[in-house]
Amino acid sequence: MVRRIVVKAIGGFEQLQVEEGPAAHEPKSKEVTVVVKACGLNFYDLYVRQGLSPEIQPPCTLGLECSGLVKAVGNEVTSVKVGDKVSVHCPKGGACVEEITVDEDSVILVPNHISFDKAASFTVNYLTAYFSLFHVGGLREGGAVLIHSAAGGVGWAATQLAKTVSNVTVFGTASPHKHELIRQNGVDYPISHDERYSDIVREHRKEGVSIVLDSLSGADFTHSQQLLEPLGKVVLIGARGMLGEETRSMWRILKTWWMTKDISPYTLIVNNCGVAGFNLNELRYTSLQTFRKGWKEVLQKILSNELSPRIDSVWTFNDIVDASKQIANRKNVGKVIIKP
C-alpha cells in the first residue's frame, strides 16, 4: 500500500485527504516506476478540487508533477535506469503519491545535484511560460511583456525567461508585499492588482506591450488586447477569474465567461494584433516531440543557472490543506512543494 493525496469529491478544502491505496503497478515494457520524493502544487490543483477541470474530475489523486528515484523500468525503456533521479509530468493528475508508474515519455533525467524539490518544481510552470512566450508569443529583442501574477509559479518562470532575451521590459502584477521579490527576479515595473495596470503600462511604454500573458480572462482579457503594441499578442493561459472562494461559484464562472468578450477577426486585422491560447497538457498529447524538446531546453537552462526556480515553501502530505491555502490565499512567491 502507498499513501496518496486524494480529492474525495468536488468541494472545499475538506475534500483533500491522505489515503492509503494500492501500490504502483509493475512497469510494462515502456513504463517507469518512480519512488516519489517531492510533488509540485499548481493553481490547476485548485481548479480540480472545485470541479473546474474538464479533464480531471474528483474523485481523483491530486498532482500534475513530481520528482523521485527510478525504482524499476520496463524492458524497452532506454532514457533512464534504476536509481536515476527524474522529474515526472502527470497531465492527467495522480502525481501526489508515494510511488507511481508512468510511461517513459513522462519522465526526464535530472542530475543528482538538483534537489528533489527543484526537480518537482519546474516542469509545469517553466514549460508553460517557455512555450507561451517563445513559441506562441514570439518574444523578440527589445520587446515588452505584461505578466499577471508575476510572483506565482508561471509568473516567476515567465519573468526569468523573458529576461533571457536582450532588452526586454517586464511589467508584472502581484500583491504589494511581493513587489520587492519580483523586482529582484527581473520585473521592471511591479504593479498591484488594484492599480489601473493599463495606465501604468502606458505611462512607461506608450506603444504598449508585445505580449500579455493572461491567466485571468474575463474583463482583463479585453484590457489585455487593448494594451498590445502593433504585432503584439495576448497569450491566454487560464481563467483565474472563475476561481473565487473556497468552493465553486457558478455566478463567478458565468460572469468570467460572460465578460470574456468574443474576438472580432476584423478588429484583429485592423489592429495588427493577435490572440492565442496555450495549454501544456494538450501540447504534450498532440506534439510530444515539441513538448520533450522544450522540457530538455528548460532543464539545460536551469543547469546552466540561466533560470532558477524559486521554492516558496515545503509541506508534507498531511499539510495538504495548508499548502493549498498558501496558493489560494495568495501567499506564495514561486513554487509550493509537498513531500510524502
Ligand X SMILES: NC(=O)c1ccc[n+]([C@@H]2O[C@H](COP(=O)([O-])OP(=O)(O)OC[C@H]3O[C@@H](n4cnc5c(N)ncnc54)[C@H](OP(=O)(O)O)[C@@H]3O)[C@@H](O)[C@H]2O)c1
Chain residues in the site for ligand X (CB under 6 A): 42-44, 124-125, 128, 149, 151-155, 174-175, 178, 193, 215, 237-238, 240, 243, 278-280, 327-328, 330, 332
Q: Which residue, 168 or 242, is less far from ligand X as judged by CB?
A: 242
φ, ψ dihedrals at 111, nearest 5°: -65, 155
Mapped onto helix, strand or coil, the DSSP state of residue 129 is helix
Beta bridge partners of 16: 7
User: Within 13 Å of residue 171, how many CA atoms lie on the same side as its CB?
Assistant: 28
**Minimum distance between the CB of residue 155 and ligand X, rounded to whole angstroms?**
5
Check: CB of residue 299 under 8 Å from CB of residue 110. yes
Q: Which residue, 106 or 215, is less far from ligand X as judged by CB?
A: 215
Q: Which residue, 24 or 239, is less far from ligand X as judged by CB?
A: 239
**Minimum distance between the CB of residue 268 and ligand X, rounded to whole angstroms?**
21
**Minimum distance between the CB of residue 107 and ligand X, rounded to whole angstroms?**
19
Task: Give CA separation, 76 vs 27, 38, 73, 278, in Å.
Answer: 10, 26, 8, 32
Residue 295 to residue 37: CA distance in whole angstroms: 20
**Minimum distance between the CB of residue 334 and ligand X, rounded to whole angstroms?**
8
Mapped onto helix, strand or coil, the DSSP state of residue 156 is helix
Mapped onto helix, strand or coil, the DSSP state of residue 320 is helix
Q: Which residue, 73 or 146, is less far from ligand X as judged by CB?
A: 146
Task: Give CA separation, 287 vs 32, 71, 73, in Å.
Answer: 21, 28, 24
Task: Collect all residues with Cβ–Cβ distance below 8 Å to 51 and sequence separation of at least 6.
Answer: 10, 57, 58, 248
Q: Which residue, 128 or 225, is less far from ligand X as judged by CB?
A: 128
**Minimum distance between the CB of residue 318 and ligand X, rounded to whole angstroms?**
21
Q: Which residue, 35 or 52, is less far from ligand X as judged by CB?
A: 52
**Minimum distance between the CB of residue 91 and ligand X, rounded to whole angstroms?**
9
**Minimum distance between the CB of residue 205 and ligand X, rounded to whole angstroms?**
21
Q: Which residue, 183 or 330, is less far from ligand X as judged by CB?
A: 330
Residue 62 to residue 96: CA distance in whole angstroms: 6
Q: Which residue, 32 or 151, is less far from ligand X as judged by CB?
A: 151
Pairing, β 2-7 against β 99-103: unpaired
**Minimum distance between the CB of residue 73 and ligand X, rounded to whole angstroms?**
28
**Minimum distance between the CB of residue 220 and ligand X, rounded to whole angstroms?**
10
Helix ranges (DSSP H) in the chain: 43-49, 116-119, 123-130, 153-162, 179-185, 197-204, 219-226, 250-259, 265-271, 280-286, 288-303, 320-328
φ, ψ dihedrals at 298, nearest 5°: -65, -45
